[in-house]
Structure 1
Amino acid sequence: MKEKLNKLFIKHFSINIKKIENSNIKNTEKWDSFSHINLILEIEEKFKLKKIKPSKIANLTSYKACYKYIITEQSK
């Protein structure tokens, strides 16, 4: 699961694998509002999640938050 999420972060943000787990919207240069929405859409698709609510999208601003959200949703 982490490997799949890592690939998404590399694809969307061109980030070094060593920096992925500490990446967030503030410290990742290519993470803007457009790339954020694209990331969320792809997370929904790749992890087969229901549509993520806008209130949740606003909180998914780090790798760790995305990872935690995916684990929580997949365990339901």
Structure 2
Amino acid sequence: MASRDVETLTRQEVVRAAKSFKLTRKMTKWTVIVDGRELPARLLLLYSAGVAPNDPTNTYMAVDKLKALGFDTRYEGKSV
């Protein structure tokens, strides 16, 4: 189950967080497009919610939440 902070996240919070998000690892298979930038889906969602990387939210939960917020999500570069 995703944390409450992740579940209540808004589209505006994700867009705001994406502007300052810095990728420090290699790109993941699941990504999201925010303002023309391709970013790792789960890491961006956790960063947006201000929760630790070990939060119980898994990649599939993150992708579902981002889709629900109206973002284009991709798997290995292909829209899903």
The TM-score, its normalising length taken from structure 1, stands at 0.35
TM-score by length of 2: 0.34
**Structure with greater proportional helix content:** 1
Higher relative contact order (CA 8 A, sep 6+): 2
Structure with the bigger percentage of strand: 2
